């Protein structure tokens, strides 16, 4: 007759949903009321792989589902989502950049002296 604590029942569907939501193994174990090592060993027994590998696969699936959902929202007319995706995936921006070459070697000696005098006057005012 076996004694001790009863075997923990793992809800693998719930586990997968937590992993897809990017939850950690420690957090999931806490939510399930079991020790993390119990969760890790159960996954190894059930799926013949490490918890780390299983977790990585499910988290990647979660990211792709989220990416697809965001894309679908943008295509359905969600303007903020379309803007977010355009900025993040297409490197679009709503600001303009102004670049200027302020190399000192292009300035005349007189211009350099005038800029230096202005800088000195500013530092004296402080």
Here the tokens at position 41 are: 């060993």
User: For 64-105, how does the pLDDT look when each residue is reduced to its tens digit (9 = 90+)?
Assistant: 999 999 999 999 999 999 999 999 999 888 777 777 666 666
The answer to whether position 55 is within a domain reads yes
CA 92-66-79 angle, to 5 degrees, is 45
The answer to whether position 100 is within a domain reads no
The answer to whether position 115 is within a domain reads no
In the chain, how many domains are there? 1
Instruction: Determine the structural domain holding residue 75 and report its residue range.
Output: 12-95
Better-predicted residue by pLDDT, 71 or 116: 71
The answer to whether position 38 is within a domain reads yes
Nearest residue to 51 (alpha-carbon basis) of 24, 14, 85, 11? 24
Where helices occur in 1-126 by DSSP H, the ranges are 12-20, 25-32, 36-47, 51-75, 79-89, 109-125
The answer to whether position 47 is within a domain reads yes
φ and ψ at residue 3, rounded to 5 degrees: -120, 170
d(CA 34, CA 39): 7
User: For 30-67, how does the pLDDT look when each residue is reduced to its tens digit (9 = 90+)?
Assistant: 999 999 999 999 999 999 999 999 999 999 999 999 99
The answer to whether position 107 is within a domain reads no
């Amino acid at each position: 007759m076996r004694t001790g604590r009863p075997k923990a029942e793992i809800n693998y569907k719930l586990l997968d949903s937590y992993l897809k939501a990017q939850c950690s193994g420690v957090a999931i174990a806490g939510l399930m009321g079991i020790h993390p090592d119990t969760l890790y060993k159960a996954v190894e027994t059930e799926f013949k792989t490490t918890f780390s590998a299983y977790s990585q696969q499910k988290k990647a699936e979660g990211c792709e589902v989220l990416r697809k959902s965001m894309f679908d929202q943008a295509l359905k007319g969600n303007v903020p989502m379309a803007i977010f995706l355009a900025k993040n995936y297409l490197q679009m921006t709503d600001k303009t950049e102004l670049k200027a070459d302020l190399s000192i070697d292009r300035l005349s000696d007189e211009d350099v002296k005038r800029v230096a005098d202005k800088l000195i006057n500013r530092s004296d005012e402080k």
